[in-house]
Amino acid sequence: MRAEVATDHAIAAIAEPQGGVIGHSQLRELGLSAAAIGRRVQAGRLHAKHRGVYAVGHRRIGTDGLWWAAVLACRPDGVLSHTSAAAAWELRRSSTRAVHVTVGLGGRARRPGIRLHRTRSLPADEVTELNGLPITTPARTLLDLAAGGLRGRPLEAALDRALLRVLDFADLQRVLARHPRRPGSPALKAVLSRYNPVDTRSRLEELLVELCDAHGLPQPIGNCVIEGKVRDFYWPHARLVVEADSYTWHRSPSALDDDRERDVILTLAGYRVLRFTWEQVTRRREYVADAILRCGLISDSEIKSQRIATSSPRVPPPRA
């Protein structure tokens, strides 16, 4: 009896980090025979969720338990993928109860509640673990979402969340280069192109210089050191620093954290900081110029005259 209690404790210890479920092979590794497993099922200590997968102690399991049960049912090569992986990575919510699992091309029967995706190409570096759960990497998950038909703004929103939390551009670019003909690859590349412009930082500097000329703004000092860091643009008399963000240079969550820390350092030192994205500098020039103007580069009367000058048509002088 004491040995049986110890075994039940071992079962619970394995199931706890797996959402409350355990696989048949894991039970056998604990030394349980088929008969011993059957007795626990009859006694209500194990509840079958899929063939060879059991919930421990009770029938009801949460979302993580459903993910684990589906992956365990598709061993040895099953990994959480597609919309289920996106939900696990918190890239996109999933409203379906069906769990998406990617497996190899070997024969495997369909199972209720599991949406199987068979593939001949799932490299080892496109699979990882999330709290021990085998799952496609964020980069592969995004490609799978695009291949499944996710497009436009919803795909961009998923990419936004990935970049803020778990994704580096290099990982996504590597996956796209590896699967150029995969369905969804063109759609994902199209969204990615907005984050990764081909223009260099010198081009971004040129655009800001042009913007200043067009709106009568004083030219800033570029790439100067303030408070121990190189800043993109600086107007000394207004103590104004402007940082121009492009995902080409801001590629990871740690880089975003560094940006925020840089802003705090400047603010505490008495500087004003404005941060604009590549999209804003290139497509919302009036918005950028107006924000810079309002930071005291020129007086209110000059702002008004500048607006009148830029909004009124130029009238050629009368001929002599």
pLDDT digits (tens, 9 = 90+) for 245-292: 765 544 445 556 677 788 899 999 999 999 887 778 888 889 999 998
Same domain, 12 and 35: yes
Q: What is the CATH number of the domain that holds 15?
A: 1.10.10
Tell me how many domains the chain contains. 3
The structure tokens 């067009």 sit at 214
Percent of the chain with pLDDT over 90: 46
**Are residues 188 and 69 both part of a single domain?**
yes
Judgement on whether residues 171 and 78 belong to the same structural domain of the protein = yes
Q: Is residue 233 part of a domain?
A: yes
Residues 39 and 82 in one domain: no
Tokens of 296: 């005291």
Q: Assess whether 212 and 283 both reside in one domain.
A: yes
Please tell me whether residues 181 and 234 are part of one structural domain.
Answer: no
Res 55: pLDDT: 95
pLDDT band of residue 79 (cuts 50, 70, 90) is very high
Residue 80 lies in a domain: yes
What does the pLDDT average to over 134-162?
93
Task: Examine the fold and report which residue of 140, 171, 196 is the final residue of a domain before the chain moves on.
Answer: 196
Q: What domain range includes position 263?
A: 201-311
Asked whether residue 74 falls in the same domain as residue 175, the answer is: yes
* 217 and 297 co-located in one domain: yes
Poorest-pLDDT segment among 14-18, 37-41, 168-172, 203-207: 203-207
Which of 147, 173, 196 represents a domain boundary (last residue)? 196
Three-state secondary structure readout of the chain: CHHHHHHHHHHHHHHHHHCCEEEHHHHHHCCCCHHHHHHHHHCCCEEEEECCEEEECCCCCCHHHHHHHHHHHCCCCCEECHHHHHHHCCCCCCCCCCEEEEECCCCCCCCCCEEEEECCCCCHHHEEEECCEEEECHHHHHHHHHHCCCCHHHHHHHHHHHHHHCCCHHHHHHHHHHCCCCCCHHHHHHHHHCCCCCCCHHHHHHHHHHHHHHCCCCCCEEEEEECCEEEEEEEHHHCEEEEEECCCCCCCHHHHHHHHHHHHHHHHCCCEEEEEEHHHHHHCHHHHHHHHHHHHHCCHHHHHHHHHHHHCCCCCCCCC
Same structural domain for residues 46 and 68? Answer: no
Question: Quick one: angle between helices 169-178 and 185-193, nearest 10?
Answer: 150
Q: Note whether 183 and 68 are same-domain residues.
A: yes
190 with 80, same domain?
yes
Among 196, 212, 244, the domain boundary falls at 196
The answer on 304 and 233 residing in a single domain is yes
